[in-house]
Amino acid sequence: MTNEYDVVVVGVGGMGSAACAHLASRGVDVLGIERFDVPHGNGSSHGSTRIIRKAYHEHPDYVPLVERAYENWRALEAETGRDLLHVTGSVCAAPPDGDLVDGARLACEDHGLDHETMTGAALNERFPGYGVPEGYDALYQPDGGFLDCERAVSAHVERAMAEGGTVHARETVADWDADADGVTVETDRGTYRADSLVLAAGAWTADLLPDLNGAVVPERQVLGWFQPPERPEDFTTDRFPVFVTESDDGAEYYGFPRYDRPGVKVGLYHHLHEAVEPDDVAEPNRDDERALRQLLRDHFPAADGPTMGLSTCMFTNSPDMDFVVDTLPNRENVVVAAGFSGHGFKFASAVGEALADLAVDGETDLPVDGFAVDRPAIRTA
Ligand SMILES: Cc1cc2nc3c(=O)[nH]c(=O)nc-3n(C[C@H](O)[C@H](O)[C@H](O)COP(=O)(O)OP(=O)(O)OC[C@H]3O[C@@H](n4cnc5c(N)ncnc54)[C@H](O)[C@@H]3O)c2cc1C
C-alpha cells in the first residue's frame, strides 16, 4: 500500500468528501481519512436533509458562494446520476420589523433574486401546511430547497474514487505535523506523507488544531420528525417550502416537507444551548421533543401529530457564526475547513472546490475571504 499522496484530507464528512472529489477530479492523488463510516450519524452531516437557500438573511455576502454551490451540486448530480438537490422554494417568516425577513429581503435585493413578500395570513393561504401568526412578515424565494445530505456525502466520495482518489473509512488520525517539505499524518493504521493537508474534522477540529480550541465549539442539536395527523398531502415537497421561522421570543426554527422518512422534519437553531464534547452527546429526550413540538403548535399546528423520530447532531460554532476556510498562518501547506456554525452544508460543494484550490495553489478565486483563520473573532476567542 502506498503511503505517499499529494494531499491528505482528514474527515470525510460534508466538507472533506467535497474536497476529496474536487481534488481527485483535478488529477490530484488524494487520500481521505474518516474515523467512522462513510457516511455516518455521529457528526454534523446526517439526518436525511439540509436546507439550501439563496435568501441569505445571515448576510448577503454569502449569496455568490451559494450560487456556486448550486452549480456544483447540479454538476455532481450529473456526474454521479444521483438526485441530491430538491427545489421546494424557501420561506422566512417572523414578527414584523425583525432581522430575519429584512435580512432575507436585503440578500434578494442586493443580488437581484426573485422573491415575494407577504403577510403571515397570505402565506398560510398559499401553503396550507403553514399556520404562522397572521400578522407575521414573510418572504418566499423560489430557488430554495433541500439537499439529501447522506447521499451528497456518498456522491462526493463516489466521484473522488471514480477519479482515482482513495478514501479510508474507520481509520482515525491521531496526529499530524508539517514542515517545509510536506506533511506527515499518523493514524491508528499507519503513517502517511503528502505535500499538503486539509483538516475538515468538523466537531473534532480542536483535537487536531488546539489553537482553535474555543473558536470552534461543538453544540448538541436535536432534529424531530412529526407525522401530520390529517392532510399529510399539505406537507409534500411540491406544496410545502423549506422554512426558517422566528417565534415572538426570538427562537429560530427551521424545517422541511415530508421526504424519505415519515413526518415533517423540524429543528430549533442552537436547540437547548448545550456545548458538548463531540464523543459524548446525550441521546434525545422528552425536553428535546417538547422544544420542537412548541414550534408545531405555534407555526404548523396541522403537523402537530405523533413523533416519528428524534436524532442528535452537532453544530460547530465559531464566535461570529461565520466559517473558517483558510490556510494556516506559517504552515501554508495546511488548510482548515471548520466552524460551519449550523449553516454550512449547503455550501459544501463550493467549499470543497475552495479547499482544493487552497491545497494545490495556496489561493482561491472563490469568495471565502471573510472566512480567514486570523480574523479578530477567531484570534481572540
Ligand atoms: C441538526 C443540524 C441541522 C443543520 N441544518 C443545516 C441546514 O439546513 N443547511 C445547512 O446548510 N447546514 C445545516 N447544518 C450545518 C451543516 O450540516 C454543517 O455545517 C456541516 O455538515 C459541517 O460539515 P463538516 O464537514 O464540517 O462536519 P462533518 O460532516 O461532521 O465532518 C467531519 C468529519 O471528520 C471526521 N473526523 C473528525 N476527527 C477525525 C479524525 N481524527 N480522524 C478521522 N476523521 C475524523 C468526523 O468523523 C466527520 O465525519 C445543520 C447541522 C445540524 C447538526
Residue 97: predicted pLDDT: 84
Instruction: Return the DSSP state at 234.
Output: G
> What is the rounded CA–CA span in Å between residue 294 and residue 16?
35
Clarify whether residues 117 and 224 are in a common domain: yes
The residues carrying an active-site annotation are 46, 49-50, 265, 270, 313, 346
Q: Is residue 85 lining ligand 1, measured as CB closer than 6 Å?
A: no
Residue 1 predicted with pLDDT over 60: no
Average pLDDT for residues 98-113, to the nearest whole number? 97
362 sits in the region (left: phi over 0; alpha: psi -120 to 50; else beta) called left
Average pLDDT for residues 287-292, to the nearest whole number? 97
Number of domains in the chain: 2
> What is the rounded CA–CA span in Å between residue 219 and residue 179?
33
Clarify whether residues 281 and 227 are in a common domain: yes
Clarify whether residues 223 and 200 are in a common domain: no
Rounded to the nearest whole angstrom, what is the distance from the C-alpha of residue 202 to the centroid of ligand 1?
5
Q: Is residue 224 lining ligand 1, measured as CB closer than 6 Å?
A: no
With respect to residue 345, please indicate whether it lies within any of the assigned structural domains: yes
Residue 381: predicted pLDDT: 85
The residues, ordered by sequence, that sit 6+ positions from 179 with a Cβ below 8 Å of its Cβ are: none
Q: Determine the atom of ligand 1 nearest the C-alpha atom of 342.
A: 15
Domain span at residue 329?
4-46+150-214+320-379
Q: Are the C-beta atoms of residues 10 and 176 closer than 8 Å to each other?
A: yes
Clarify whether residues 135 and 224 are in a common domain: yes
Average pLDDT for residues 88-114, to the nearest whole number? 97
> What is the rounded CA–CA span in Å between residue 224 and residue 253?
12
Output the domain CATH number for residue 29.
3.50.50.60
Average pLDDT for residues 286-310, to the nearest whole number? 97
With respect to residue 104, please indicate whether it lies within any of the assigned structural domains: yes
Residue 258: predicted pLDDT: 98
pLDDT, tens digit, for every residue of 213-269? 999 999 999 999 999 999 999 999 999 999 999 999 999 999 999 999 999 999 999
Residue 336 predicted with pLDDT over 70: yes
Residue 283: predicted pLDDT: 97
Clarify whether residues 288 and 248 are in a common domain: yes
Clarify whether residues 117 and 251 are in a common domain: yes
pLDDT, tens digit, for every residue of 188-213? 999 999 999 999 999 999 999 999 99
> What is the rounded CA–CA span in Å between residue 317 and residue 63?
20
Burial of 354 (0-12, 13-18, 19+ CB in 10 A): buried
Residue 182: predicted pLDDT: 97
| Residue whose entry in the numeric block shows the C-alpha cell 472533506 | 16
Clarify whether residues 231 and 295 are in a common domain: yes
Clarify whether residues 335 and 301 are in a common domain: no
Clarify whether residues 265 and 298 are in a common domain: yes
With bands split at pLDDT 50, 70 and 90, how would you rate the model's confidence at 330? Answer: confident
CA distances from 138 to 96, 122, 189 (A): 9, 9, 53
> What is the rounded CA–CA span in Å between residue 161 and residue 25?
9
With respect to residue 113, please indicate whether it lies within any of the assigned structural domains: yes
Burial 124-158 (b: 16+ CB within 10 A, else e): beebebbbbbeebbbbbbbbbbbbbbbbbbbbbbb
Clarify whether residues 230 and 210 are in a common domain: no
Task: Please say which residue of 317, 341, 366 terminates a domain.
Answer: 317
Residue 98: predicted pLDDT: 87
pLDDT, tens digit, for every residue of 81-100? 999 999 999 999 999 988 99
Clarify whether residues 127 and 189 are in a common domain: no
With respect to residue 134, please indicate whether it lies within any of the assigned structural domains: yes
